[in-house]
Amino acid sequence: MFNFFDEIKNKVTNFDHNLLNDYNIINLSGKLLYVEGHHGVTILSGETVAFKIKKGRVVVEGENLVLNELTDNTLLLQGKINKVEIF
């Protein structure tokens, strides 16, 4: 089965691939945010969504944010995504 993240990791040379196992985030045109590797949502509103990752926290700011899908370690956020910060 095709794995998008594995394909990207395989293209990177001279890099410790074990460092790329904490989380993955893809922002699609500022309208969808797909995340793998979250450890729980801590804030959920139409303007702010925050979630824990292995070594910190991610805060997403935007407009009309909706949590479209949530599993144990993945989430799909929809809306106008203005900013993504990692702390």
Output the six-digit token pair for 27. 């922002």
* SS3 at position 19: helix
How far is 41 from 51, CA to CA, in rounded Å? Answer: 4
How far is 53 from 39, CA to CA, in rounded Å? Answer: 5
15 lies in some domain: no
54 lies in some domain: yes
The range of the structural domain enclosing residue 31 comes to 23-86
1 lies in some domain: no
For the chain, the domain total comes to: 1
66 lies in some domain: yes
Residue 54 Cα to chain centre, angstroms: 12
46 lies in some domain: yes
* SS3 at position 25: strand
Contact 48, 41 (CB under 8 A): no
34 lies in some domain: yes
CATH at residue 35: 2.60.40.2000
pTM of model > 0.85: no
18 lies in some domain: no
Reading the chain (87 residues) residue by residue, the pLDDT tens digits are 566 777 777 777 777 766 667 898 999 999 999 999 999 999 999 999 999 999 899 999 999 999 999 989 899 999 999 999 999
6 lies in some domain: no
